[in-house]
Amino acid sequence: MPILDAVALPDYLVADQLCGKIAVVIDVLRATTTIVEALGNGARCVVPVASVDGARVIAHDRPGSILCGERGGLKPDGFELGNSPLEYSADLVGGVDCVLTTTNGTRALHMATAADEVLVGAIINVDALCDWIQRDGRDVILVCSGTDGRVSLEDCLGAGLFVDRLGYVATDNAGMMFHAMNGAVEQFGGLRYAVESSFHAKRLISMGFGDDVAFACEAGKSSVIPVFDSGVGEIVVD
């Protein structure tokens, strides 16, 4: 049976920890949820970029692309879309290259590229991604993005859901996320309420993004499998 590992922050990865594995990068609030939704609504690709300036340069060099993302949760000046998954409607992103930069999620994607395969994971595509991973059969590592260098409860809850669904042999890190998820779901009376108890969710709710938080908790609603080809720099649907 494959082994399932996890890290609570990409900064916690140690040498060779990604080698030979499928990495699932998770930023429940909101980058990976947004990427899944953009591709589900027909974006041709998402180009994840670590910096705002880098995103401006890449979008400038890609005719027809749009600039997307956030800093401090808000759309930077001159960007077409922010980081709310609900903004990414088919009429706005259909057939378009979305050049996306976010504070933590796009950075985590670039920190996972030593893996054999980099998948974009969210609560909304947990079932489809787990089916894909089980058919593939390779070992897996869940890479939580965190928030500003700190561990995020919501990413650990999302990772715990992947551990639950995959049913693989779990390392202690992956096991802790599974137990944290189960405990929090029981304590708060459901996954959405557990996610809403997190620091980042409270911040987003206070900024008026409560619908994004609720949307990000709709487990398994999407069948999109986003794969990051770091050589080309694009996330596309498998």
Binding site for ligand MLT (CB under 6 A): 27, 29-31, 70, 73, 83, 102-105, 204
Q: In the 3-class helix/strand/coil scheme, how is 3-29 assigned residue by residue?
A: EEEEECCHHHCCCCCCCCCEEEEECCC
Least spacing, CB of residue 196 vs ligand MLT, in Å: 14
Least spacing, CB of residue 209 vs ligand MLT, in Å: 7
Residue nearest to ligand MLT (CB): 102
Q: In the 8-state DSSP scheme, what is residue 80?
A: S
Closer of 117 and 212 to ligand MLT (Cβ) = 212
Distances, alpha carbon 113 to alpha carbons 20, 30, 134, 138, 180, in Å? 11, 20, 21, 16, 27
Distant-in-sequence, close-in-space partners of 166: CB < 8 Å, separation ≥ 6: 4, 130, 133, 134, 140
Closer of 85 and 160 to ligand MLT (Cβ) = 85
Give the tokens for residue 123: 């609560």
Query: Can you tell me whether residue 42 is helix, strand or coil?
Result: coil
Least spacing, CB of residue 211 vs ligand MLT, in Å: 13
Least spacing, CB of residue 55 vs ligand MLT, in Å: 13
Closer of 170 and 194 to ligand MLT (Cβ) = 194
Closer of 21 and 30 to ligand MLT (Cβ) = 30
Closer of 186 and 211 to ligand MLT (Cβ) = 211
Closer of 73 and 226 to ligand MLT (Cβ) = 73
CA–CA dist 152, 2 (Å, integer) = 26
CA–CA dist 211, 66 (Å, integer) = 23
Least spacing, CB of residue 131 vs ligand MLT, in Å: 25
Least spacing, CB of residue 195 vs ligand MLT, in Å: 12
> What sign does the dihedral 171-116-51-63 (CA atoms) show?
negative
Total Cβ atoms within 10 A of residue 164: 16
